[in-house]
Structure formats: structure tokens, C-alpha cells
Amino acid sequence: MKNKKEKKKWYKSLIKNMKVKNSISEAKEKFSGFLELPKEVVSKATKLTSIENNNILIEGYKQIIDYYDDYIKIRANNIDILIDGKDLDIKEITDFDLVIEGNIYSVNYQK
């Protein structure tokens, strides 16, 4: 079991790390505001853009988990994205962006 002095040392280290992380986050926000960059460019946010029910762009995805012609499951930064439809196809793919086309019935999110 840790004594009181060790606990205090651990707590101070934790507080110091939290202050550094907060400073970095604040600096990113100021930097993106100065350059007028969208939030998703600087942070690890995932952005979905849908055009009617037949085209969806996913920016900031991590990996494709399942890929069928009626169901696609994508892992994003903080969530999984579930796309149900018919004749679904991945039309464009890069390291960060993904374009899915087909008859899209629903887009759901799962933590």
C-alpha cells in the first residue's frame, strides 16, 4: 500500500499531465481559429456528409470492419458507423476518407 507521500507525488504528477494536455488542446483550438480551419481537421473528429440517400462521405475513419452489399460497418475515432442499404459499394478510399454509394436506408452510430 502506498504511503501518504507517494500518493501526493502521484497526484501532483497527474495534475501536471492534465494541465499539459489542456494547454495542448487550447493551443490547437487557437491555432485552428487563427487559420480558420474546421474543427474536424485539427481534432480527431469524424465527419459524415450525405447526399440524399445514395452517397455518403466519411472523413476521419479508422478501418472497415464489415463490408457487404447491404451492410457496411466502419470504425471511426470514437464510434462505429453502421450503414444499411442495398447495392452498397465503396467508390473511393484513401487513408482518411471513404465514399460509399448505393441505396442507403439508414446510418447508425454505436459506441
Cell numbers for 54, please give them.
Answer: 445514395
pLDDT along the chain (111 residues), means of 10: 60 62 64 61 76 90 92 90 95 90 94 85
- Among the CATH numbers 3.40.50.300, 2.60.40.2000, 2.60.40.10, 3.20.20.80, which is that of 44-110? 2.60.40.2000
User: CA 87 to CA 90: how far, in whole Å?
Assistant: 10
> Given 3-state DSSP classes, what are the helix, strand and coil percentages for the chain, each rounded to the nearest 5?
30, 45, 20
Per-residue confidence (pLDDT) for residue 86, from 0 to 100: 96
Cell numbers for 100, please give them.
Answer: 460509399
Beta carbons of 48 and 57 less than 8 angstroms apart: yes
The residue extents of the domains of the chain are: 4-37, 44-110
Cell numbers for 7, please give them.
Answer: 500518493
Per-residue confidence (pLDDT) for residue 67, from 0 to 100: 94
